[in-house]
Structure 1
Amino acid sequence: MIEVTVAAQVKQTLASLKGTQATLEVFHRIEQDEANIKLLQNNSQRIHEIIERLENRVKILEFEEPQYKGL
C-alpha cells in the first residue's frame, strides 16, 4: 500500500482547486447573464483565497518536513 503524505494530499487539493478556478473563469468569459457572471466572479475569488491559504500551508509543511519539498 502506498502511503500518501499530508503534504501530497494538500498539493493534490491545491492543483484541483486551481483547475476549478480556471474553469470558473472560462465560464465567466462566456456567460451572458449578469447574475451568473457575479456568482462566477464571487466563487472564483473565494477559491483564489483558499488557494492562497493552501499555498501558505504547503510552505509551512515543506519547512517543517523538508523531505516533502518539491513533491
Structure 2
Amino acid sequence: MTTYSKVKQTLVSLEGAKATMEMYGQIAQDEQARKTFRRNAQRLDVVLERLEKRLQTLEFEEPQFKGF
C-alpha cells in the first residue's frame, strides 16, 4: 500500500468519524455530551484540512495518483 493510499484511507475514515460525532452531537440527551461531540467534530475539521493539503501535495509530486 502506497503512502498516498494510506493517507487517502485515513482521510475517508476520519470523515466518517466526523459525521458520526456530528450525528451524536445532535441526538445526545446531555448538553455537555452535545458540546463535546461538536467540539471534537470541529477539531477533526482541522485535521481533515491538513490531510487534504497533504493529498494535494502527493498528487503534485506523483501525478499518477491524481483523481484516485
> Which band: TM-score by shorter chain?
over 0.9
Unaligned 5+ runs, structure 2: none
TM-score (normalizing by structure 2): 0.95
Alignment correspondent of 2:29: 32
What do the CA deviations read for 1:40-64 (whole angstroms, capped 9, x no partner)?
Answer: 0111011111001000100000001
- Count of aligned pairs between the two proteins: 68
Misfit runs of 4+, over 3 Å? none
RMSD, aligned α-carbons: 0.7
In 2, Cα distance between equivalents of 1:50 and 1:44: 10
Higher relative contact order (CA 8 A, sep 6+): 1
Structure 1 unaligned regions, length at least 5 = none
% same residue:
50
Q: Tell me the SS of whatever aligns to 2:38.
A: helix
TM-score (norm 1): 0.91
